[in-house]
């Protein structure tokens, strides 16, 4: 699946969730016409109508309902995975390995080690002297 196909599926799910192109477009940060084109491209690529559109409502066809039921849990799983990984950006975590002479460790690192550990509890230092 390429990026365009993924964005088309994401657009389709947003329209299904919101039951309106305008609200879905706002949620995705794109124009309603761009969203409509994306969903039409998906339908064209699949060769089947997924949504019944009227001027006042949007409803799923049978095929659209099947696709939505299969795709929605996967999209939620991907959103959750991205959120979990995003947490690494907000707070430093992991292992920092430092090789340094023992005199540098005594003068520069050890006096600041307690303060560093308090500031970054999720960081594990691996000091090699």
Spans of all domains in the chain = 3-89, 91-128
The predicted pLDDT at position 27 comes to 93
The predicted pLDDT at position 65 comes to 96
The arrangement of secondary structure in 3-89, i.e. its CATH architecture, is Orthogonal Bundle (1.10)
What are the residue ranges in the chain where pLDDT is below 70?
88
Which run of H or E residues covers position 21? helix 21-28
The predicted pLDDT at position 84 comes to 82
**Structure tokens that stand for 12 in this block:** 């389709």
Beta strands, E only, the chain: 51-53, 58-60, 94-99, 123-128
Please state, in angstroms and rounded to a whole number, the distance separating the CA atoms of residues 21 and 24.
Answer: 5
The predicted pLDDT at position 56 comes to 82
The predicted pLDDT at position 122 comes to 87
The predicted pLDDT at position 50 comes to 97
Q: Per DSSP, what are the bridge partners of residue 99?
A: 128
Whether the predicted model's global pTM rises above the 0.75 cut: no
């Amino acid at each position: 699946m390429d990026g365009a196909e993924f964005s088309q599926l994401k657009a389709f799910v947003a329209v299904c969730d919101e039951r309106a192109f305008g609200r879905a477009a706002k949620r995705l940060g794109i124009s309603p016409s761009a969203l409509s084109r994306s969903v039409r491209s998906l339908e064209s690529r699949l060769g089947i109508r997924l949504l019944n559109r009227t001027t006042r409502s949007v409803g799923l066809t049978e095929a659209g309902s099947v696709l939505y039921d299969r795709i929605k849990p996967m999209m939620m799983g991907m959103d959750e995975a991205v959120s979990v990984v995003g947490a690494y950006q907000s707070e430093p975590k992991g292992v920092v390995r430092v090789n340094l002479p023992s005199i540098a460790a005594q003068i520069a690192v050890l006096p600041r080690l307690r303060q560093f550990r308090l500031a970054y509890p999720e960081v594990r230092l691996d000091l090699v002297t």
